[in-house]
């Protein structure tokens, strides 16, 4: 501790995604004398950002009204077509637009790279005087003598795998702040600690998640329709005791962004989300778009799916949760950027006002109140039963019930109660209750294996460093996960980090290939024994997404 240097700020923001950057910009808009810094664990702003993405510009319009005329990359492709396909193994039904609740429409939205939007927002923030430190993950929360958050410390650099200091060792930096905003995204590791430390989830449902896996393809120009947005549900998850859906967005530069979300509450431990995505690409309607094209990028990320009932207490002494750290994704719309940005703006307003009032390191309760009386609350409350209805009753019946509830809420009525959640880890079933799923081998044209996919993510970690995937009990994988659940970590990870390998005595042992990790956080979420904890690796490690 004594060898760390420290730097004082008015506000420290942990995470350079849309929520964190919106907060930083808003702080400088309100009071340009505020000292604001953003810590980003990726090698640059946008390096770890992955989303579909079809973005509702509502919050962006509020933050920077002239963004369309300021060379913002998102403005390039407005949505021109909106399709929702119900897939069977070989066919599809294009659900009529009028059958969907009006708020499900993508009219007025834009499709593009969320990473590039964040790069643009980062430039705007820096122009306003925000200090941004990429490659510096926050690894520890600092508390003052009264127990309030007083900032964070960045990860030590140059630590060897055995814990010793290498020749290039550099201790982390302490960043002290009057208020610290946590904008780490879904399942942030410091956010997780703050939730436990301050018991922020005492009055809400547990957060639940989906795993989103995404690819970018250059496709035949004759097949490219800029602004065409397609969402799918049904096959292949209808065959594997799970649910979720796919997306295919025609974006700039002759590219399509396509991906697949598997809800992580699946019970069958043999479900393999990566392979379900590969199967989905072979559906005739999807394969038709991809044939003759080339895959150019790959990545994966966990997505909050808990909805309004899973939003925790947002403020605590010295800090607040914003964006996906808190969980503001509208699951039926598959959108969270606009709500994340709005939450960051509301937190910025509260922090700026508190600092002007000579407050510091107290709870920004006015931020929590502002969120719960904002359009974030209106939007998420309207769809709060959609995810649990599908989870409880399955993709077919659950979708009908969720649609009915959303339509009724459009008419100011609906189910008279809010449904509850159970954690994704707890929903995992015993392997002996299920039949093993045989997935087809990749053809190397439409479908691929995980290792070649991870290569396209640009993922890299310094090999000689402590493993950032920590087993609380190293014996659990072999004693419990393998015999009871058939070793699900070898399947739920979209990067091939976990594998069971026979030792010289023919006994299977878990091997962790941490250098492959794309920071999706699925292992931290889905491990049935909750034995795996994701912590920050050395700065700049992980994926380097160029256009995701």
Q: Which of 240, 384, 517, 536 is catalytic?
A: 517
Q: Which of 301, 382, 384, 491 is flagged as catalytic? A: 301
Q: Are 56 and 30 in contact (CB under 8 A)?
A: no
Q: What is the mean pLDDT of residues 347-361?
A: 98
Q: Catalytic residue, from 43, 139, 262, 337: name it.
A: 337
Is 467 a known active-site residue?
Answer: no
The predicted model gives 363-384 an average pLDDT of 96
Q: Once rounded to an integer, what is the mean pLDDT over residues 455-459?
A: 96
**Comparing 401 with 183, which gets the higher pLDDT?**
183
Among 5, 9, 46, smallest CA distance to 27 is for 9
Between 95 and 535, the more confident residue is 535
> What DSSP string describes 301-349?
EEEE---GGG----EETTEEE-GGGT---BTTTTB-HHHHHHHHHHHHH
- For residues 452-477, average pLDDT: 96
pLDDT (0 to 100) of residue 133: 97
Q: Which residues pair with 12 in a beta bridge?
A: 37, 180
327-336, 406-415, 479-488: which has the highest mean pLDDT?
A: 479-488
Q: Single out the catalytic residue among 43, 51, 297, 536.
A: 51
Catalytic-residue membership of 523: yes
Instruction: Please name which of 230, 273, 251, 268 lies closest in space to residue 92, comparing C-alpha atoms.
Output: 230
CA–CA distance, 258 with 246 (Å, rounded to integer): 7
CATH, domain 6-66+115-206+308-382, list 3.50.50.60, 3.30.70.380, 3.40.720.10, 3.30.470.20: 3.50.50.60
For residue 520, indicate whether it is catalytic: yes
Quick: pLDDT tens for 208-238.
999 999 999 999 999 999 999 999 999 999 9
Rounded to whole angstroms, the Cα distance separating 55 from 121 reads 14
Q: Where are the domains of the chain?
A: 6-66+115-206+308-382, 385-418, 449-534
Q: Pick the catalytic residue: 37, 118, 324, 493?
A: 493
**Of 175, 155, 237, which is closest to residue 536 (Cα–Cα)?**
155
Residues 391, 520, 522, 536: which is the catalytic one? Answer: 520
Closest CA to 327 of 309, 346, 315: 309
324 is catalytic: no
pTM of structure? 0.95
Query: Do 6-66+115-206+308-382 and 449-534 have matching folds?
Result: no
Is 103 a residue whose pLDDT tops 80? no
Six token digits for residue 446: 């439409």
Inform me whether the pLDDT recorded for 2 exceeds 50.
no
By percentage, how much of the chain surpasses pLDDT 70? 100
CATH number for 449-534 (one of 3.40.390.10, 1.20.120.330, 1.10.1380.10, 3.30.70.20): it is 3.30.70.20
């Amino acid at each position: 501790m004594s060898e760390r240097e420290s730097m004082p700020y008015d506000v420290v923001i942990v995470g350079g995604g849309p929520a964190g950057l919106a907060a930083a910009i808003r702080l400088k808009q309100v009071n340009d004398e505020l000292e604001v810094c953003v810590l980003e664990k990726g090698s640059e702003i946008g390096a770890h950002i992955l989303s579909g993405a079809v973005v509702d510009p509502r919050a962006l319009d509020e933050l920077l009204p002239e963004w369309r005329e300021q060379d913002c990359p998102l403005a390039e492709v407005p949505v021109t077509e909106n399709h929702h396909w119900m897939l069977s193994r070989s066919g599809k039904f294009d659900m009529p637009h009028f059958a969907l609740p009006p708020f499900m429409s993508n009219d007025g939205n834009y499709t593009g790279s969320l990473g590039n939007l964040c790069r643009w927002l980062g430039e705007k923030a820096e122009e306003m005087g925000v200090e941004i430190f990429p490659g510096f993950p926050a690894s520890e929360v600092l508390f003052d003598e009264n127990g309030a958050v007083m900032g964070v410390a960045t990860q030590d650099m140059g630590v060897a795998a055995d814990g010793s200091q290498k020749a290039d060792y550099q201790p982390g930096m302490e960043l002290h702040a009057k208020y610290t905003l946590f904008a780490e995204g879904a399942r942030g590791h410091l956010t997780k600690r703050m939730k436990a430390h301050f018991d922020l989830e005492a009055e809400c449902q547990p957060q639940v998640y989906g795993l989103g896996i995404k690819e970018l393809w250059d496709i035949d120009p004759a097949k490219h329709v800029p602004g065409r947005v397609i969402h799918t549900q049904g096959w292949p998850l209808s065959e594997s005791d799970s649910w979720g859906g796919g997306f295919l967005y025609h974006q700039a530069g002759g590219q399509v962004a396509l991906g697949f979300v598997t809800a992580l509450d699946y019970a069958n431990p043999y479900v393999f989300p990566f392979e379900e995505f590969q199967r989905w690409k072979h559906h005739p309607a999807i394969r038709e778009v991809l044939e003759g094209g080339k895959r150019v990028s790959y990545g994966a990320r966990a997505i909050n799916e808990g909805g309004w009932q899973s939003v925790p207490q947002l403020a605590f002494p010295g800090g607040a949760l914003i964006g996906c750290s808190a969980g503001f994704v509208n699951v039926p719309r598959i959108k969270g950027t606009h709500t994340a940005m709005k939450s960051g703006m509301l937190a910025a307003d509260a922090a700026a006002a508190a600092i002007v009032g000579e407050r510091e390191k107290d709870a920004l309760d006015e931020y929590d109140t502002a969120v719960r009386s904002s359009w974030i609350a209106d939007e998420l409350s309207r769809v709060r039963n959609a995810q649990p209805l599908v989870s409880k009753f399955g993709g077919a019946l659950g979708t009908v019930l969720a649609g009915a509830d959303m339509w009724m809420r459009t008419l100011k009525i609906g189910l008279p109660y809010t449904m509850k959640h159970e954690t994704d880890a707890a929903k995992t079933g015993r392997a002996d209750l299920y039949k093993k799923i045989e997935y087809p081998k990749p053809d190397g044209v439409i479908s691929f294996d995980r290792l070649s996919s991870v290569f396209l993510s640009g993922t890299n970690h310094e090999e000689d460093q402590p493993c950032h995937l920590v087993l609380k009990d190293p014996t659990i994988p072999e004693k419990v996960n393998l015999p009871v659940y058939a070793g699900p970590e070898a399947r739920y990870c979209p990067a091939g980090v976990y594998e069971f390998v026979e030792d010289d005595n023919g006994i299977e042992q878990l091997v962790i290939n941490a250098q492959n990790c794309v920071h999706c956080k699925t292992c931290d979420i889905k491990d049935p024994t909750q034995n795996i904890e994701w912590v920050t690796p050395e700065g700049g490690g992980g994926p380097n997404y160029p256009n995701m």
